[in-house]
Structure 1
């Protein structure tokens, strides 16, 4: 794993392959390598694939708790520039999808395309107000729990019930490494309302959701699909929230077809 320093933050990342750049953004639990391990291997045959550990997760340092999606988006722009990843395709899962939305708004000339997987326009922009408040309150409370209690609460919501235990356990191991302060920073950013950014997205966008996702249900997917002009929605049967792991083969085929269709 490599790292770069950006405005005093150490940002760790995993890089594989050669070709057009493909940047992978994980959700608000776990880390880049564990979340995207299969995609790092699968897409490295024709892309330069980079999965970062967002500030506040994995091997990266913690940002201020009020970093917000704007802070994350600006950090991502500097990260992409430092690694000389020109006009990358950007794939964001869950919170990583919200980050990709804000990134496309603040830095519209950088991404070549977006893939938003199990994504929200922020909890505040995609969930009922009460549900968004409850989710943020839960996250702030979870940040003070032991790693085991943290994982026991959130891990069951990440996968479909039939996901192999070894797959779930591997993801749970990465979740146990959470940073309390960093997790709060990501949760506060995830709670924002990004609906105003959706009509401003000017690049081709693929939306990928699992039909068994209990965190970002299909109503969320359809709302984003309606609000983003050049977007296509693909629903993966039998997949839960971490759909790139739950239905890895279908996810990979769907994303590769989209990227090929955009001339990559």
Structure 2
């Protein structure tokens, strides 16, 4: 059973969930999510690992994002949490927007990263999808945020290959209900503006790429680009799976992460 705790990093109170004992692995959620999105991973992997899932600033139990918050600030906060809770380089696992935060953290604080798993991710929307698509996605976000409360739906399109997996629908609904509009805009603006393609060739730690074969948000072409650019990266593709692979295919996802952690800590 995961416990929810808080830690102060760079003047912000940040929440996180922790479970298990053993080597530590830090989970970094996607946009418009919080640490609850990693529930099946915390449940499955806590038998032999200390699993920690953060609530980024502005999500879950963490404090709101301050004015002017940028991608670099998310990365600094994540690095600060690693230092505060682990005190040594750790494995990090990210999904979607979480991979962008991890790559920025690696650029700014490479010493805190022991190994990384990047799932269905981006080197920023601009970096992986191009300026036109990044701008179109940000415009769609702004349009959703302009809706009145009764019409506001923060859910991005194309998250799953089919219908959302029934066991996780209540979880998805609960996270969507807790989305803060200002935080959503801050994070997804940072995502739209980011181009971290120059970081990929600098990665010198073991890296596993996990992608849903039917990911419509970050297509396999992005995965192939990551595989080409990141030295020694290994790509694992989960069949019949979309963007949120950790929830749509938790069994295969967990097995891939477990095997990688056995090999690379």
Structure-2-length-normalised TM-score? 0.93
Match runs of 1:78-89 below 5 Å: 78-89=80-91
Determine the structure 2 residue equivalent to 1:205. Answer: 207
Distance 1:122 1:62 in 2: 22
Quick one: distance in 1 between partners of 2:31 and 2:154? 16
In 1, are the aligned partners of 2:24 and 2:90 still within 8 Å (CA)? yes
3-state SS of 2:15 partner? strand
What RMSD in Å do the two structures reach over aligned CA positions?
1.7
Q: What is the deviation of 1:153?
A: 5.0
Please report how far the alpha carbon of residue 142 of structure 1 lies from its aligned counterpart in structure 2 after TM superposition.
2.3
Query: What does residue 124 of structure 2 align with?
Result: 122
Q: Report which stretch shifted further, 190-199 or 61-70.
A: 61-70
Asked if 1 retains the 8 angstrom alpha-carbon contact of 2:32 and 2:155, the reply is no
CA distance change for structure 1 residues 20 and 178 in 2, over 3 Å: closer, same or farther?
A: same
Paired position in structure 2 for 1:44: 46
Note if 1:24 corresponds to 2:35. Answer: no
Mapped pair 1:160 → 2:147: no
- Number of the residue aligned with 2:103: 101
Pairing of 1:144-155 with structure 2 (within 5 A): 144-146=146-148, 149-151=151-153, 153-154=155-156
State the shift of 1:117 in Å: 0.5
Q: Judge which range, 105-114 or 79-88, deviates more.
A: 79-88
Q: Of 92, 108, 112, which aligns to 2:94?
A: 92
Question: 1:88 & 1:146 partners in 2: Cα distance?
Answer: 42
Can you list the C-alpha shifts for 1:199-250, whole angstroms capped at 9, x where unaligned? 1111011110101111011011111111111201111001111100100000
Q: Which moved more, 1:103-112 or 1:59-68?
A: 59-68
Structure 1 residues not aligned, in runs of 5+: none
SS in 2 for 1:24: strand
User: In structure 2, what is the equivalent of residue 15 of structure 1?
Assistant: 18
Structure 2 unmatched runs, 5+: none
Q: TM-score, normalised by structure 1?
A: 0.93
Task: Provide the rounded CA distance (Å) in 2 between the counterparts of 1:167 and 1:159.
Answer: 12
